[in-house]
Amino acid sequence: MNTVKIRGLEVVCRHGVNDFEKVEPHPFIFDADVETDFFSATQSDCLDGTVNYSSVCKLITGIAQNNVFNLIEKLAYECAFSVMETFPAVKKITLTVWKPEAPMKCRFEKVGVTFSVERETAYLSLGSSMGDRQGYIDKALKLLSKERGITVLKVSDCIETAPYGGVAQNGFLNCAAAVSVLLTPHNLLDVIHKIESACERERKERWGDRTLDIDIVFFGDKKVCDERLTIPHPDWQNRDFVKIPLKSIAPHLVK
């Protein structure tokens, strides 16, 4: 991956937790590493094959000057996310916001924060065994598509499957979805839990019947293993209700 670097972009704007900071403009300095593939630009010598750093600077400047935030963390987040959303060719951005005139009673050169956003493709398994099963799956996909940082790319057909795990009694409706995400795996998990709750999911017993269940099967080539999340999903290869829908949208992942 190649990197377009921006250093020392100065924008005079109004951000801070103090009231006077929201009135009197003061300088902020932006540094950005924009990861993309500009090999085609090296061959064509045309701007179309890369990310235009002038456009990135203009976007960051507009966000900084047209909004007022309490925290530079929020400012960094909005700028980084907007770059990813505006320029699909960007794989990752690492953005640092410096506040050289922060109102502190101590000597310092500058203070700042760094925020990174990376574009990944995640594969999800969705299932329902209670109530309007198709309705819950459709609602989940709709809610996913409304979340900032998530774009639904592909959805498999739904299949009927027998209950798994020895507890649930009802048949399941299952499908798989490929989503482009600008979130970390754990951020995506938090969104999934929110959507499951919106679809009336109750966690009464493990493996029991449920209105909606969403599992992260793959998240790019990342591996995660902690008390909250394991990726790739540890049991996906033993679950036909995961493999069959997944193979229809991502045959390269299922042998």
Catalytic residue among 215, 235, 239, 240: 215
Q: What is the pLDDT of residue 80?
A: 98
Give the active site residue among 119, 133, 213, 239. Answer: 213
- Which amino acid, one-letter code, is at 194? K
- The CATH code that applies to domain 2-118 is 3.30.1130.10
Q: What is the rounded distance in angstroms from the CA atom of residue 4 to the CA atom of residue 94?
A: 11
The active-site residue out of 119, 201, 209, 239 is: 201
Q: Which CATH superfamily is domain 120-249 in?
A: 7,8-Dihydro-6-hydroxymethylpterin-pyrophosphokinase HPPK (3.30.70.560)
Q: Which listed residue (210, 221, 226, 240) is catalytic?
A: 210
Query: CA dist 119 to 35, 86, 214, Å?
Result: 10, 13, 20
Collapsed DSSP state (helix, strand, coil) of residue 140: helix
> What pLDDT does residue 82 have?
98
- 117: closest CA among 7, 179, 53, 35? 35
Mean pLDDT in consecutive groups of 10 residues from the start of the chain, 255 residues: 96 97 96 96 94 97 98 98 97 98 93 98 96 96 97 97 72 95 97 95 72 96 95 90 95 90
Active site residue 33: no
203 part of the active site: no
- DSSP for 79-115 reads HHHHHHHH-TT--EEEEEEEETT---SS--S-EEEEE
Active site residue 206: no
DSSP SS3 for 42: helix
- Give the span between the Cα atoms of 193 and 214, in whole angstroms: 8
Report domain extents, the chain: 2-118, 120-249
Active site residue 48: no
Nearest to 99, CA basis, from 11, 5, 6: 11
Task: Give the per-residue pLDDT at 170.
Answer: 84
Number of residues that make up the chain: 255
For the entire predicted model, the pTM comes to 0.90
- Looking up tokens 């490929």 gives 178
